[in-house]
Every structure is written in C-alpha cells, then in structure tokens.
C-alpha cells in the first residue's frame, strides 16, 4: 500500500512524539471548530447581512499574514514545540472574546476572536512545518502532508460536527467550556510531545546552518510553483467559502443556520477525504502539471456553482460541497508537500511563512472583492464573477511557471 493514509499510519507507529502532536492538534481543532460554530451561529441568529458574513471570513484570514511573519522570526530563536505551546496558550486566552460577544451582544468581539485565531494559525504554520522537516525523514514527508490535512479538516469535522449537534440544544457558555477544555488537553499533549521529540538523523541545533533568506530570482521553477499553489487555491476557493453562509441564507432564509452548519461539516469531510485518495508518488505529479491544478480548481468552482440550484435538495447540496473540497484538498496536499520537499531545512520556515502570507494576501484580496460584489449584486453573482475570474488568472500564472 502506498496511499497517504498508509504513510501516515506508518509514521505514527514509528514516532511517539508525532502521535502526541497529532492528538494535540485534534484537541485544538475541536476547540477551533466549536468557536467557529459559536461565531457563525450567533451571526446567523442575529440576522447579520451577507456582507458582514463574508467579512467575518476576511477577519479570519488577514491577521495570518502578520502571524506568519512573527512565527518565521520566532522559529530562528526558539524551538518549534515551544512556539506551538505559546500559540495554544494564547488561543485559550482568546476565548474571552466570545464570552464578551455573548454577554454584550457584540459583533466586534465575535470578529475579534476570528482575527486572533488567524494570527495564531499564522504563527504556528512555520513552526509545524519546521518540526516535520526536522523530525521526519524525506521518505516520511508525505505522512506530514497527510497529517496537516487531518489537522486542517478536524477543525470543522470534529468541532462543527459537535457544534451542529449541540448549538441549539445547549448554551453557548457550555460550548465555550468544552472549547477551553480542548485547549488545555492540547497544551498537555504538546508538552509531552516536546519531551519525546528527537531528530537523530540531524546535527545538533547549535551546528545547524542559520536560516537562509529566500530570493525569488534564485529559486528553481519547482520551488516557485510550490510557493504559488496555495495562493492559487486561496484565490479561487476563499471567495466561495466566505460566501457559503450567505449562500445558505439566500437559499434557505427560514433556517439559514440549519443549512449552513451541515454544509460546513460536509466541507470538512471533503477536506479530510481528498488527500486520502492520493498515492505518495502522485503528490509530485499534481504539483508539476498545470492541467491537474486547473481541473481540481474547476471541479471545486463547478460544485459550488451548483448550490443556488439545489435549494430543495439538501442532500445534493451537501454532496456538492463534499466533492468541491475533495478536489480542493488534493491540491492543498500537493501544495504543502511541495513546500516541505522542495526547500532545504534552513529554508523551510521561510518558505512556509512566505507561502502562508501569499495565501493570506490572495484570500484577503479576493474575499474583499467578493464581499463588495455580494453587497451590491447578491452572493450568487459574487460567487460566479469573482471565483471564475480568479480561476482564469490562476490558469495564466501556473502556465507561466510550468515545468
């Protein structure tokens, strides 16, 4: 067997620190997903306008730019595990924002927790990538790619799954208490992982070369494409994902939350299952071939474009979202693997930080445009116009840097 799932299972069997790290981020993702349910559930319950729902996604994106810069700098001064523990501790403190939002009916506080999570995610991404590069061999890097997708999907798969069941059956304060407990569990697992972490194939930290700066002109075509895949995915995917709650509001205004939250759950199921369809050797081929990138993005956009026509068929709408994110996260896996495999250890934190910042800028730009178009012409028109335009631009860019 040579699937990514099998590679992940083998790596987890070999490295106890990796098992503890996976548990830590599953705990953390559970909490982040619950926070997302609280934020969007309350915004929908308070009948927030479509423009604000889209901007909520934007506020959950932009601070990641600053966070990735901070994380990249801190990776050269402290261990990746220490940085991850710091971000989880700050994430626990950030739960004060939704408490204020509920207590004072404050939309600003709800948006603040989204921004804080984005900042901390940006900080943790270079640390997580560097940790994988230090602790795993080259042959085990596909397992790291698969684990990153599991972490990414767990935020909604676990947190939203639990939130969908509990949101209208229990108080928001109970959900936030579960959220806090998940962060405490994550902190414990990270501390244990730090004690078990070892990288026997690498020289001692004091003998490692200093982090190397990246210069676009000196990068190979493969390295350039690796840095461009995630921003390309963000350009096409972020407007559609940002518009998802507004689309649910337009399709089913009587119970927008009842439709939006299951759609978020279907989204995460696709995110989780997509990379599992890949074989290890397929990751390099997907990153290197322009038609495969465009096909994945085209499937994603076509599936989202079907949603306005499926107002009476909820199961079909869920299926379309699932298919869309099968395609998008195959591409996400190819992009993350490209960054891990294409750069030297001394460049890994810088490369992952740069890819995250470009992804953030791309998502912010196209989401802002989508919010403006949605405010004037509706969420459906915004979906078609903005994401389709982004797809054409991406096709031209990746063709320019084809191998």
Per-residue pLDDT tens digits for 304-352: 888 777 766 777 878 888 998 888 888 888 888 888 888 887 788 888 8
Q: Is the pLDDT of residue 288 over 70?
A: no
Place of tokens 């750069």: 343
Q: 89 pLDDT band (50/70/90 cuts)? A: very high
Give the tens place of pLDDT for each residue, 342-386.
Answer: 888 778 888 888 888 888 888 888 888 888 888 788 778 888 888
Give 369's contacts (C-beta < 8 A, 6+ positions apart).
239, 386
- Residue 393 gets the label, from left (phi > 0), alpha (psi -120 to 50) or beta, of alpha
Q: 202 pLDDT band (50/70/90 cuts)? A: very low
Q: Is the pLDDT of residue 206 over 50?
A: no
Q: Is the pLDDT of residue 63 over 50?
A: yes
Once rounded to an integer, what is the mean pLDDT over residues 220-240?
87
pTM: 0.76
Q: Is the pLDDT of residue 17 over 80?
A: yes
Instruction: Count the Cβ atoms, other than its own, within 10 Å of residue 170.
Output: 12
Residue 203 pLDDT: 47
Considering only residues 260 and 369, tell me which one the structure prediction assigns the higher pLDDT: 369
Once rounded to an integer, what is the mean pLDDT over residues 81-88?
92
Rounded to whole angstroms, what are the CA distances from 258 to 254, 255, 320? 9, 5, 17
Instruction: Count the Cβ atoms, other than its own, within 10 Å of residue 114.
Output: 25
Q: What percent of the chain has a predicted confidence (pLDDT) above 70? A: 85
Residue 190 pLDDT: 93
Residues in the chain: 403
First to last CA, the chain: 29
Rounded to whole angstroms, what are the CA distances from 190 to 120, 143, 308? 15, 19, 43
Q: Is the pLDDT of residue 201 over 70?
A: no
Give 132's contacts (C-beta < 8 A, 6+ positions apart).
141, 144, 147, 148, 340
Q: Is the pLDDT of residue 396 over 60?
A: yes
Give the tens place of pLDDT for each residue, 117-132.
Answer: 889 988 988 888 888 8
């Amino acid at each position: 067997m040579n699937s990514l799932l099998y590679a992940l299972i083998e790596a987890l069997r070999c490295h106890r620190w990796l098992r503890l790290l996976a548990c830590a981020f599953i705990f953390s993702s559970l909490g982040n997903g619950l926070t997302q349910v609280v934020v969007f559930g309350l915004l929908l319950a308070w009948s927030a306008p479509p423009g604000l729902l889209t901007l909520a996604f934007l506020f959950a994106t932009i601070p990641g730019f600053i966070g990735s810069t901070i994380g990249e700098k801190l990776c050269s001064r402290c261990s990746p595990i220490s940085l991850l523990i710091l971000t989880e501790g700050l994430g626990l403190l950030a739960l004060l924002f939704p408490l204020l939002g509920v207590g004072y009916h404050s939309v600003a506080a709800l948006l603040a927790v989204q921004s804080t999570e984005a900042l901390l995610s940006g900080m943790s991404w270079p640390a997580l990538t560097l940790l994988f590069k230090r602790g795993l061999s080259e042959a085990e890097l596909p397992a790291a790619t698969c684990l990153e997708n599991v972490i990414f999907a767990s935020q909604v798969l676990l947190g939203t799954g639990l939130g969908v069941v509990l949101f209208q059956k229990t108080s928001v304060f109970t959900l936030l208490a579960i959220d806090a407990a998940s962060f405490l569990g994550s902190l414990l697992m990270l501390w244990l992982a730090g004690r078990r972490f070892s990288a026997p194939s690498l020289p001692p930290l004091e003998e490692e070369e200093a982090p190397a700066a990246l210069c676009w002109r000196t990068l190979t075509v493969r390295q350039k494409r690796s840095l461009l895949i995630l921003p390309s995915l963000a350009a096409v995917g972020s407007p559609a994902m940002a518009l998802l709650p507004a689309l649910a509001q337009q399709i089913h205004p009587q119970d927008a939350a009842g439709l939006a939250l299951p759609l978020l759950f279907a989204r995460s199921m696709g995110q989780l299952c997509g990379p599992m369809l890949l074989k290890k050797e397929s990751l390099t081929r997907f990153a290197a071939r322009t038609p495969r990138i465009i096909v994945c993005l085209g499937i994603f956009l076509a599936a989202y474009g079907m949603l306005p026509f499926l107002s009476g068929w909820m199961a079909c709408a869920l299926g379309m979202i699932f298919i869309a994110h099968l395609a998008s996260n195959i591409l996400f896996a190819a992009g993350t693997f490209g960054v891990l495999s294409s750069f030297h250890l001394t460049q890994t934190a810088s490369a992952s930080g740069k890819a995250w910042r470009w992804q953030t800028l791309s998502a912010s730009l196209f989401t802002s445009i989508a919010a403006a178009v949605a405010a004037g012409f509706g969420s459906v028109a915004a979906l078609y116009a903005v994401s389709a335009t982004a797809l054409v631009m991406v096709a031209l860019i990746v063709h320019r840097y084809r191998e």
